[in-house]
Structure 1
Amino acid sequence: MGHSATGPNAADHARTTHRLAPARRRLPRDLPALPGEHLRPRPAAQPRRLTGAAVTGGRRGRGGVAAGLVASGHAGDRWGRRRLFLVGLGIATVSTLAAAAVPTMSWLLVLRVVQGLTSAVMMPQILATLQTVLAGEQRVRSVAVFSAASGVGTVAGQIVGGAFVTALPESLGWRGAQLAGAAVALVAFVGGFRVTPTHSAAPARIDLPGSVLLGACLLVLVSGLSLGPSSRWAPWDLALLALAVLLGAALWASQRGAARHGRAAVLPVDVVAVPALRTGLAMALVFFAGFGAFMFDFSVLTQGELGMSAFASGMATGPFALAFVAGSLLSTRLVRRHGARAMVGGALVQLVALGGTAALSFASLDPWAGWFQPLGIVLGLGQAMMFAPLVGTVMQAVPDRVAGMTGSLVSTAQQAALGLGVAVLGGLFAQWSAPLGPRSAFGAVTLVQMLLAVTFAGLAWRLDGRARRQARPEAAASQ
């Protein structure tokens, strides 16, 4: 783009820019926020050229979120959910302020991970509080609203962040966005005192060894998948993936041993063995991997190949956001009437929109963003019908004894999938852009996401069938 880097220093910028994509490709100023991270102040914008290191740092930040979710849920049960929420939000505020003043990109990456960990402290407390203070239809509706707000916040964050970055002097760049994020976090911190304080009357003991193994496994896995595509899968990347497998095996052995001896477990074997929960976790992994990758790749394509500003790129998702809101409002009614089959319908709607987006990308029609708008509306409706009812539907399908942990486990799957989706599908987009061109590469990755939509539909159908089979004996007994 013909001007010097605005990041912490030009040397870091020059060393890392080549790792994400070919040097000729223009990259976005802002990294899109992702579902479940709307409460954490993020750098709404990066330097005018987003470096490979910043992207990797974002993925590791999401790995940090996934690593701490379950353990933080246990901590909230024991020490108070509002207290943990305020602690996480307070640290987020301080770390975001610090990120605005970092002297080097390395310090920014460290603080990105800290921001991810603060999200891990906050997020489980929200769903656990809803689970505790509400019941029945109110609980289902509140979880759907929470899920919808997460998705809407994702798109709204891109629009607002893009507007903020465009309005700021270029000399401030992402530092000004960090200061704005800290101000928002401070307001949220004050409002957090209005949250109803809750805790568990009989909190489970914290499985410290299991929590460490789970966190290490997720961080190593996300790091390996993040670094692999940009370094052409160097030996150390493969070593990270092998280490993740070993840590996963050690975690499973640890949890089985805890079950045999009656010790506390971060992932209780009897809970993970519940079929409805396993299906729900798989659905979360599939959906959020595709969602995170699509939003990231869309930002790269529009701000890179299409030359749009951060604000224009965000505004290009405006109809998608409005459709998402409308679909979220309809989702509760559809689930009440059709059960999990409503999510099957959402996946089919998404499949149509993704197919149209792939065809548009391969055809290279101009203006691309203009042609995408009707497809974005269909995509927003489909994704809302998949996303908004997901957590509530799974929590209804599992037995009451595991309902309390379901929200934390689904949130863990969500954050792990966001990091993995951007790492894998974002990496494919970067690799395919050179031989195919960015638009065709976007279309090719969209075809992969269509496979994820089909997988999600199959899992939702399976979840619905299991729920209906369980409902028949209960209905017969009530008669």
Structure 2
Amino acid sequence: MPKNSTSTPLTTAQRWAVAVTALAGMMVSLDALVVTTALGAIRVALHASIEELEWTVTAYVLTFAVLLLTAAALGERFGRRRMFVIGLALFAVASAGCALAPDVGTLIAARAVQGAGAALVMPLALALLGTAVPADRRSRALGVFSSVAGLAVPLGPLLGGAVVTGVSWPWIFWLNVPVVAVLIPLALTRLQESSGPPARLDPGAVALATAAALGIVWALVRGNTAGWGSAEILSTLTAGVLLAVGFVWWQRRATEPMLPMHLFGSRAFSAGNIAIFFEWGSALGALFFMAQFLQTGLGFSPARAGLGLMPWGAMTFIVPQLTGLLIGRLGERPFIVGGLGLHAAAMTWIALIAEPGLAYWQLVAPLVVSGIGVATALPATQSAALSSVAPAYVGKASGVYSTMRQLGGVFGVAAVVAAFAAGGSYRSPQSFSSGFAVAIGACAALSLVGALSGLATPGRRPLPPAPAGRAQEGEGRPGDGALAGERVAHRVGGDATVADPVAGP
């Protein structure tokens, strides 16, 4: 009987690919959160208003989410490694611009450019990892990637508070420069160049995708401030949705689509993307309010609040590596459904016990359960979305996955803030705790929706014989169906199985 592929170790080149891409993923994820504990110092130093502070956070998320699909398309057209390195360089330059910003307007502009660099880095990191590691070992590599990149969630607030306290706020941005200085030569020497099928870049598709994402994200970011029923929000959200419909119509007619619609014929691909949307929305929404509850409700300092989240954060580093080893044997479904079910249960637990002066030890167990759940589901959603597509389309698939993750985060934070406003306020610890309980309950609901979407992930099944006349691997045309060479096979106990082949158009 052939050796079980899940026990086959990664090669040296594959380990380097995991290390470089995971470190880059952690860096860009970290900058979405590290600024949160520095806002007080930034307000004083740059005389910023509350709305300007909000834009210091959201400008990064906005360009990050809006440009992900475009960035993935650029990588497919001009080379994934080349555009990955350009994204790293742009991120470093923008980080220096943030650190040197003489006023808050310049800081917001630099943060927007930083988000554009991150949009190039994240999907192409996943694409480079997906092409460097064979499908039968990819779930293990994605587990490591998730562990390292997941460190950004607990480390962001903690690192931001520590740097601001120990040095000064510009150093949260200066730290990115030496990291990029190490990553760029490693990327050039340790990663192999790859690209998607030869195709021209479609300006119309790029414009529609960018404008659609901008309209939707703008509405989500501004909804709670401007009012969900305001003309600004209704018009931008409607425009975003209509432009998204136009983008789909455009892609279905294109001979060389920027996003082949046949990818969504894969149940695994679609379910993985829906699951990460709700998972990341629930996780970021919970983190947003947990850090505040520890300070407002329990009286913790910012640094102590960061430490208080470490039981949750430790799980996001440990668990994905274990999950990655098991996905190849059991498939993604049990990890998505079970992980998000655990997170939903933990959120419900916290919502039921939340009150001012709550003893911290009572939060430790649900924080650990939540961290295990989130960390269990994350590599499974990645595996479902990336391992179910042909190697030629992994770049486009990673762009969709990263976009859904960022949009889910924006949607989740907006949803739980609205839930908080309906149930409480910042007027007193009691009022805050009441709103916090409602917000955390909303996080539980989002996680349950993600778990239900995971049920749509197909079970593992025998690899069917290749249809006659189909193209071989690497020769697929955009728009082709389940090509014989494009199925991602896994060997489990000697039996070849496949994670939902890409369906035809």
TM-score by length of 1: 0.82
Q: Identify the match of residue 38 of structure 1 among 27, 31, 38.
A: 27
Contact 1:319 1:376 in 2 (8 A): yes
Q: Which residue of 2 aligns with 1:333?
A: 325
Q: How many residues align?
A: 432
Deviations 1:238-295, CA, capped at 9 Å, x for gaps: 222222122223222222332xxx2x22222222333332222111111111112111
Q: Identify the match of residue 293 of structure 2 among 301, 304, 313.
A: 301
Q: Which residue of 1 aligns with 2:337?
A: 344
> Which whole-Å CA distance do the structure 2 matches of 1:281 and 1:397 have between them?
12
Runs of 4 or more, structure 1, over 6 Å off, are none
Q: Identify the match of residue 224 of structure 2 among 226, 229, 241.
A: 229
Q: Which residue of 2 aligns with 1:140?
A: 139
Give the drift of 1:175. Answer: 2.3
> Which whole-Å CA distance do the structure 2 matches of 1:103 and 1:472 have between them?
60
Q: Identify the match of residue 358 of structure 1 among 351, 375, 381.
A: 351
Does residue 282 of the first structure (1) align with residue 274 of the second (2)?
A: yes
Contact 2:278 2:450 in 1 (8 A): yes
Change (3 A) 1:423 1:112: farther
Q: Which residue of 1 aligns with 2:383?
A: 392
Q: Which residue of 1 aligns with 2:111?
A: 112
Q: Which residue of 1 aligns with 2:124?
A: 125
Give the drift of 1:155. Answer: 1.4
Letter of the aligned partner of 1:349 in structure 2? L
> Which whole-Å CA distance do the structure 1 matches of 2:361 and 2:225 have between them?
31
Q: Identify the match of residue 314 of structure 1 among 306, 310, 317.
A: 306
Give the drift of 1:121. Answer: 1.0
Deviations 1:278-329, CA, capped at 9 Å, x for gaps: 2221111111111121112222333444443321121111111222223222
Q: Which residue of 1 aligns with 2:262?
A: 270
TM-score by length of 2: 0.78
Q: Which residue of 2 aligns with 1:254?
A: 250
Q: Identify the match of residue 429 of structure 1 among 406, 420, 432.
A: 420
Q: Which residue of 2 aligns with 1:11?
A: none
Change (3 A) 1:247 1:478: closer
Change (3 A) 1:386 1:478: closer
Contact 2:291 2:309 in 1 (8 A): no
Give the drift of 1:345. Answer: 1.6
> Which whole-Å CA distance do the structure 2 matches of 1:213 and 1:270 have between them?
19
Give the drift of 1:337. Answer: 3.8
Does residue 240 of the first structure (1) align with residue 236 of the second (2)?
A: yes
> Which whole-Å CA distance do the structure 1 matches of 2:444 and 2:432 have between them?
18
> Which whole-Å CA distance do the structure 1 matches of 2:444 and 2:418 have between them?
17
Change (3 A) 1:65 1:203: farther
> Which whole-Å CA distance do the structure 2 matches of 1:230 and 1:331 have between them?
39
Deviations 1:210-232, CA, capped at 9 Å, x for gaps: 12211111122111222121233
Does residue 181 of the first structure (1) align with residue 176 of the second (2)?
A: yes
Contact 1:302 1:313 in 2 (8 A): yes
> Which whole-Å CA distance do the structure 2 matches of 1:300 and 1:216 have between them?
33
Give the drift of 1:37. Answer: 5.7
Give the drift of 1:157. Answer: 2.7
Give the drift of 1:404. Answer: 4.5
SS in 2 for 1:47: helix
Q: Which residue of 2 aligns with 1:214?
A: 209
> Which whole-Å CA distance do the structure 1 matches of 2:343 and 2:199 have between them?
40
SS in 2 for 1:341: helix
SS in 2 for 1:203: coil
Letter of the aligned partner of 2:206 in structure 1? S
Contact 2:124 2:398 in 1 (8 A): no
Q: Which residue of 1 aligns with 2:447?
A: 453
Does residue 71 of the first structure (1) align with residue 70 of the second (2)?
A: yes
Contact 1:40 1:185 in 2 (8 A): no
Change (3 A) 1:37 1:244: farther
Q: Identify the match of residue 192 of structure 2 among 173, 194, 197.
A: 197
> Which whole-Å CA distance do the structure 1 matches of 2:407 and 2:86 have between them?
23
Deviations 1:139-186, CA, capped at 9 Å, x for gaps: 221122112222122212332222212223xxx4x3232223334333
> Which whole-Å CA distance do the structure 2 matches of 1:401 and 1:198 have between them?
13
Letter of the aligned partner of 2:353 in structure 1? L
Q: Which residue of 2 aligns with 1:160?
A: 159
Give the drift of 1:349. Answer: 1.7
Contact 2:316 2:374 in 1 (8 A): yes
Deviates more, 1:400-409 or 1:317-326: 400-409
Change (3 A) 1:60 1:265: farther
Contact 2:147 2:318 in 1 (8 A): no
> Which whole-Å CA distance do the structure 2 matches of 1:379 and 1:309 have between them?
23
Percent identity, please. Answer: 24
Contact 1:81 1:197 in 2 (8 A): no
> Which whole-Å CA distance do the structure 1 matches of 2:58 and 2:196 have between them?
36
SS in 1 for 2:300: coil
> Which whole-Å CA distance do the structure 2 matches of 1:444 and 1:99 have between them?
35
Contact 1:353 1:375 in 2 (8 A): yes
Taking only aligned residues, the RMSD between alpha carbons, in angstroms, comes to 2.8
> Which whole-Å CA distance do the structure 2 matches of 1:39 and 1:230 have between them?
26
Change (3 A) 1:184 1:308: farther
Contact 2:39 2:53 in 1 (8 A): no
Change (3 A) 1:73 1:195: farther
Change (3 A) 1:461 1:111: same
Contact 1:320 1:376 in 2 (8 A): yes
Change (3 A) 1:336 1:190: closer
Give the drift of 1:98. Answer: 1.1
Contact 1:296 1:426 in 2 (8 A): no
